[in-house]
Amino acid sequence: MEYTVQQLAKLSGVSGRTLRYYDEIGLLKPARLSSSGYRIYGQKEVDLLQQILFYRELEVSLEEITSIIHHPDFDLISALQQHVQKLQEKHARLEQIISTVQKTIENKEGGTLMTDEEKFEGFKKKLINENEKKYGKEVREQYGDEVVDDSNAKMMGLSEDDFKKMQEVEKEFLEELKKGYETGDPASPEAQKAVELHKKWLSFTWPQYSKEAHAGLGDMYVSDERFTAYYDQHIEGGTRFLRDAIYVYAGK
Amino acid sequence: MEYTVQQLAKLSGVSGRTLRYYDEIGLLKPARLSSSGYRIYGQKEVDLLQQILFYRELEVSLEEITSIIHHPDFDLISALQQHVQKLQEKHARLEQIISTVQKTIENKEGGTLMTDEEKFEGFKKKLINENEKKYGKEVREQYGDEVVDDSNAKMMGLSEDDFKKMQEVEKEFLEELKKGYETGDPASPEAQKAVELHKKWLSFTWPQYSKEAHAGLGDMYVSDERFTAYYDQHIEGGTRFLRDAIYVYAGK
DNA sequence: CATAAGGCTTAACGTAACGTGAAGGTCAAC
DNA sequence: GTTGACCTTCACGTTACGTTAAGCCTTATG
């Protein structure tokens, strides 16, 4: 059986362009040319194309396929074994990616589809989770388990009403921090008022307040990129300024 | 914090070229240019880049990322859902490919390392598995479990000697089919002899023969691409011809 | 026999996401 | 003042083809 480009294309499912390309790069040349220059493929070429498509399925590059096809002494097995390993890694990675995308969707959906009540619940839990994960260890080491657990318990125990109040206080605090920052002086009345608002904000979740702990928290803010990012998002350099203001407040 | 190209590159792990490219396509523009034309990135750009890299991790195209980043009203969720579907298809496909590669390795290894006995065993088991997976359901529905199970049992029970005989009969059958096909007539003596050889071949594994079942098998051959590919590989259009010949033989 | 439809050819540009020089300006340090 | 490390803008290379474009060949039909 002999085939022209289009016939072989239909037979094999690849495009005519692909066959011409394979000819161009020397991967699969037609058996002969017709008198008018048409490419004519024979049985051998059909079989070869099957082989090529097989390796292509395996995501082997055409360059490698050319090697495999043209050098029968090519170490096929170890090449395939390496290949299967790469595929498995890719497979695992894809799994990871899919689950991340799904989680992202869940979160985003949560933001648009959940009731305010549910949102509130989810938010609180998430906050505690994140705090636990990122700072739990550090804080536990410095202040002991009781403080952390109490803080979490208190946060979970917050009513939605209190939570809203807490958010309002935070907003007030950020505004005052900005005013203070503009004076450039951590000891300015504005900066000190900001620190007091910060203290008020903390009392929503802190079991008991101490100036030392407050100052320590300021240090953590500065040294931890997540907090730095959070406060600097509102005021560039605000984190350091807040720490300095807390130092003044705590008389440190 | 302000960064030049190279500094942000080190910070984020991408190349300088990548940052210039992102500037070029409007995905991430620097906060400003220095007096000498250097790109200067600020905190906002660092955060944005983080977002971009996050979506890139999820294999979202830069074009889509641009949409997501620049249009807050972009339908993120359905975009991500479509995306996750694509990823899952890719995932399933990869699985398929991996199993194909592994089978190939097995075969190649078998070809060089296994004894003839083992080769023979593996081949039979593999055949049964594949038949079961692809046609088991169909055949079971049509002829009942007993026929299938008996057929499998019989094939497993074949001696190496019988198996070789079976292969010889198949070869004879294919040759006769070709002769019949060349006459163009399914009722020709050659074609009918081919059908008889096919019957003989079947009896190696079929518990009992019936003309109805034989004719049904002919239909399945034609409707199932795997069989079509197998028979047409030897004789183009041979599958349909075989079915027609079986019809004649069965008086259908 | 002319013409139209469809298949064939080569040539050459387009794609995605950058890598890799080349040619030349800028900046901090010695 | 001169290295050397950075920065800039071109601009071509990469992979495996897709997509016109211009023009020749073959076959069917009026």
pLDDT digits (tens, 9 = 90+) for A149-202: 444 444 444 455 555 666 677 777 878 888 888 898 888 888 998 888 887 776
Mean pLDDT of B177-202: 83
Site of tokens 């009942």: B144
At residue B35, the pLDDT reads: 93
pLDDT at B1 over 70: yes
Q: pLDDT digit string (tens) for B15-44?
A: 999 999 999 999 999 999 999 999 999 888
| Gap from A16 CA to D29 C1', Å | 28
Element (H, E) at B15: none
At residue A118, the pLDDT reads: 30
In order along its 252 residues, chain A shows pLDDT tens digits of 788 999 888 788 788 999 999 999 999 999 999 999 999 998 788 878 877 887 787 778 898 888 878 775 556 566 667 667 777 777 777 777 677 667 767 766 654 333 222 323 323 333 333 333 333 334 444 443 444 444 444 444 445 555 566 667 777 787 888 888 889 888 888 899 888 888 777 665 554 456 665 665 666 566 545 455 666 666 777 777 887 888 788 776
At residue A230, the pLDDT reads: 60
**Residue whose C-alpha is closest to residue B97's, from A56, A48, A52:** A56
Helix/strand/coil (H/E/C) assignment for every residue in A212-228: HHHHHHHHHHHHCHHHH
Q: Measured between alpha carbons, how far is residue B208 from residues B146, B148, B151, B193, B212 in Å? A: 11, 11, 9, 20, 12
At residue B150, the pLDDT reads: 41
Distance to chain B for A55, nearest Cα, Å? 9
Distance from first CA to last CA of chain A, Å, rounded?
Answer: 93
Instruction: Give every CB contact of residue A102 below 8 A, 6+ residues apart in sequence.
Output: B84
Nearest to A91 among B59, B95, B236 (CB): B95
Nearest CA in chain A to B229: A11
Rounded to an integer, what distance in angstroms lies between the CA atom of residue B136 and that of residue B224? 13
Residues B23, B29 contacting (CB under 8 angstroms): yes
Higher pLDDT pick, A60 / B222: A60
- Best B81, B104, B234, B235 member to test A by mutation, with max A CBs in 10 Å, is B104
Tell me the range of A90-99, B117-126, B147-156, B183-192 where mean pLDDT is highest. Answer: B183-192
Rounded to an integer, what distance in angstroms lies between the CA atom of residue B169 and that of residue B174? 9
At residue B74, the pLDDT reads: 55
Nearest CA in chain A to B107: A77
Q: Is A57 on the interface with B (CB under 8 A)?
A: yes
What is the total residue count of chain B?
Answer: 252
Rounded to an integer, what distance in angstroms lies between the CA atom of residue B152 and that of residue B145? 11
| Gap from A52 CA to D20 C1', Å | 28
Nearest nt to the A38 alpha carbon by C1': C8
At residue B134, the pLDDT reads: 37
| Contact criterion met (CB < 8 Å) for B87 and A98 | yes
**Residue whose C-alpha is closest to residue A84's, from B124, B109, B123, B114:** B109
Which of these ranges, A16-30, B103-117, B168-182, has the smallest mean pLDDT? B103-117
Instruction: Find and list the nucleotides of strand C having atoms within 7 Å of a protein beta carbon.
Output: 7-10, 16-20, 25-27
pLDDT at B106 over 50: yes
DSSP secondary structure string for all residues of A41-90: B-HHHHHHHHHHHHHHHTT--HHHHHHHHH-TTS-HHHHHHHHHHHHHHH
| Gap from B16 CA to C20 C1', Å | 12
Rounded to an integer, what distance in angstroms lies between the CA atom of residue A55 and that of residue B101? 9
Higher pLDDT pick, B248 / B171: B248
pLDDT at B176 over 50: yes
pLDDT at B195 over 70: yes
At residue B237, the pLDDT reads: 73
Q: Measured between alpha carbons, how far is residue A57 from residues A53, A62, A95, B85 in Å? A: 6, 11, 20, 20
User: Would you call B150 exposed, middle or buried from its count of C-beta atoms within 10 A (0-12, 13-18, 19+)?
Assistant: middle
At residue B249, the pLDDT reads: 81
At residue B143, the pLDDT reads: 40
**Residue whose C-alpha is closest to residue B30's, from B49, B11, B13, B14:** B49
CB pairs under 8 A between A and B: 70
Q: Which two tokens stand for residue B223?
A: 């409707």
Rounded to an integer, what distance in angstroms lies between the CA atom of residue B141 and that of residue A138? 65
Helix axes B238-250, B160-183, angle to 10 degrees: 90
Q: pLDDT digit string (tens) for B114-143?
A: 222 222 222 222 333 333 333 333 443 444
Q: Measured between alpha carbons, how far is residue B51 from residues A99, B24, B35 in Å? A: 18, 18, 29
Average pLDDT, chain B: 68
Element (H, E) at A121: helix A116-131
pLDDT-above-90 percentage for chain B: 13
At residue A217, the pLDDT reads: 62
